[in-house]
A and B are shown apart, each in its own frame.
Chain A
Amino acid sequence: QQQVKQSPQSLIVQKGGISIINCAYENTAFDYFPWYQQFPGKGPALLIAIRPDVSEKKEGRFTISFNKSAKQFSLHIMDSQPGDSATYFCAASSGSNYQLIWGAGTKLIIKP
């Protein structure tokens, strides 16, 4: 019940296309859902995060869509660029613990 399942494992998208990465969770106590971006040789960096009181959050080309009833959330990257090529991790935590539970990661490649 503590797991966060992330898909796909890898994704190839053409430049200018939309990249979509999905995550699903079971623990209804989760109330914080961040996405982290990791470039080779670097640690992950917080990209965008959402709480369940909203269904969507947008920051530039990056959007989180959240479906509370389905216990799913996804990251959409609009107008994907080669510089977006990285590994993306979703995560979740609850207010009782704050410990992030991580998805397995998605390696995204944007083809020029």
Chain B
Amino acid sequence: KAGVTQTPRYLIKTRGQQVTLSCSPISGHRSVSWYQQTPGQGLQFLFEYFSETQRNKGNFPGRFSGRQFSNSRSEMNVSTLELGDSALYLCASSLDREGEKLFFGSGTQLSVL
């Protein structure tokens, strides 16, 4: 059974640009969550989608947005990139509405120059 797939693995952007990250969950998983991980801040929750609907949202500015498609694949978009957005962005999927048992992808390492 394939795991959670995130693309691209690495990304370099410049300030002011926008970026879209992709996540394919484990087959059959309907919940997808996104996290930002930085050395100083640990794991910060961005948002969670379940059956194409945003169910939970963390404390991030509106520049961070996401969506989920009917096949449960999810994308995350960051507009007007700032230097502080440099981080590892992790996607996690879970089987059902009880989004406790998370399966993480390896992440997208975003560097903003």
CA distance A103 to B56 in the complex (A): 19
- Chain A interface (Cβ within 8 Å of chain B)? 32, 34, 36, 41-46, 49, 89, 93, 97-100, 102-105
CA distance A11 to B30 in the complex (A): 36
- Chain B interface (Cβ within 8 Å of chain A)? 4, 42-43, 45, 48, 56, 90, 92, 97-107
Number of A-B contacts (CB under 8 A): 48
Which A residues touch B90, using CB under 8 A?
43-44
Given the interface pairs A89-B43, A105-B42, the reply to whether A45 lies near B100 with Cβ below 8 Å is no
Q: Classify the secondary structure of A's interface with B.
A: loop
CA distance A97 to B57 in the complex (A): 12
A103 interface neighbour in B4, B42, B103, Cβ under 8 Å: B42
CA distance A26 to B92 in the complex (A): 26
